[in-house]
Amino acid sequence: MQKQTPLYDNHAALGARMAPFAGWDMPIQYAGILAEHEHTRTRASLFDTCHMGEFEISGPGAEADLDRLLTQNVATIKMNQCRYGFLLKEDGGVIDDLTCYRLGPDRFFLVVNAGTLAADAEWIQSHLSPDTTFSDMSPTMAKLDVQGPDSRAETEKALGRSLPDLKFFYCAEWEIDGIPCLISRTGYTGEWGYEFYFPAEAAARIWEKLLAPGAIKPAGLGARDTLRLEVGYPLYGHELGPDRTPVAAVNGLFMDTNKDFIGRAAVLRDLEEGVPEKLTALRLETKRAARAGDTVIHGDEPVGAVTSGSLAPSLNVAVALAYVRSDLSEPGQKLEVETRGKRLPAEITELPFYKDGTARRKPKP
């Protein structure tokens, strides 16, 4: 039985096409993936992300515990700052990729993936000090994302008030019509945008309020996936997983190896000795897309496998992420992808594929 977010009836009323995702019945598209992708890149779209998990970690030992658990440097996270990183096993395999928010000197907020929520909670709780408190906020919390270059202006119109001035990867405790809310600016599309966390019982009310003026349109997980792929963001279960360290995907990014954390020895080993395969960005020559699991070929030799692939609507060409043998992983390398009995020419390029995202730019007035 798939779980449903508090907005299931709202999606049904909008004619959304629903499908299973990480144990949830989620909207894949409304008007269509291409239309929703384009609207997010040029205007602003609203995503139901209530399936994501949220934990609060607090107490005098919280900072030290999280610094040991997470690859990012938690001790240096400023008040109301957010930082992306990884939760690793002892052997360096990725349990999850997540974002850590500091809401107080001894109060932290973790945003985790839906499919790994239970495993994350078990692992984290098993490594906390007795004076650290763990709370799973997920069952009572809703999350909505507004993404796109017009996000600020159109959200302010819809809510009838100014949004706080937030730098990229910062957050603030706020309210919407008296409803307590945490607002952040992290995003998963490469565009300017906001994430709103608030009590689940208010989800339908805030969803309708954001959509009411008509400029912000609903978008599903289909567009969310093509948007994140265009900017090269990894997806757990595709680019990241328990069978390899994150070094193969991001080299040394989002990991502070100057401090101790679970999995550090394996990370240092891979940084020093290298890895057999590296995550690469493939730009294909046509609009025919490769799919996860497709074989990457050099000459007649298999040298890797696609982890994510799609048409990139903003570029009008197919792109893919793939783990490829390290000696063949440099930009400019010519390869082929075998998909559905055809060999598609591809070239390794630099990320992001789409370079005009607004996430770090000033918003439109």
pLDDT digits 0-9 by tens, 238-265: 999 999 999 999 999 999 999 999 999 9
Fold of the domain built from segment(s) 276-353: Elongation Factor Tu (Ef-tu); domain 3 (2.40.30)
| Three-state SS annotation for 307-360 | EEEEEECCCCEEEEEEEEEHHHCCCCCEEEEEECCEEEEEEEECCCCCCCCCCC
**Nearest 5°: phi and psi at 39?**
-65, -35
Residue 364 pLDDT more than 90?
no
Strands 3-4 and 24-29: parallel
In the chain, % of residues over pLDDT 70: 99
List C-alpha distances in Å: 132 to 65, 68, 209, 353. Answer: 8, 13, 38, 42
Neighbours of 178 (CB within 10 A): 7
Q: Is the peptide bond before 352 cis (omega within 30 degrees of 0)?
A: yes
List C-alpha distances in Å: 109 to 55, 74, 97, 261. Answer: 6, 11, 14, 19
What pLDDT does residue 1 have?
85
Helix (H, G, I), strand (E, B) or coil at 75: coil
Q: Give Cα 248 distance to the centre of its chain.
A: 18
Indicate the pLDDT class of residue 365, thresholds 50, 70 and 90. low
State the Cα–Cα distance between residues 300 and 338, nearest whole angstrom. 11
In the chain, % of residues over pLDDT 90: 98
Among the CATH numbers 3.30.1360.120, 3.40.1410.10, 3.20.20.70, 3.40.50.10860, which is that of 1-275? 3.30.1360.120
Average pLDDT over residues 12-28: 97
Residues 50-83: tens digit of each pLDDT:
999 999 999 999 999 999 999 999 999 999 999 9
Q: Give Cα 302 distance to the centre of its chain.
A: 29
Q: Which residue has the tokens 């992983």?
A: 329
Contact 305, 336 (CB under 8 A): no
What pLDDT does residue 361 have?
84
What pLDDT does residue 363 have?
60
Q: What is the pTM of this model?
A: 0.96
Strands 179-184 and 193-199: antiparallel
Spell out the domain ranges in the chain: 1-275, 276-353
Q: Which residue has the tokens 């709202």?
A: 10
Q: Which two tokens stand for residue 223?
A: 């567009």
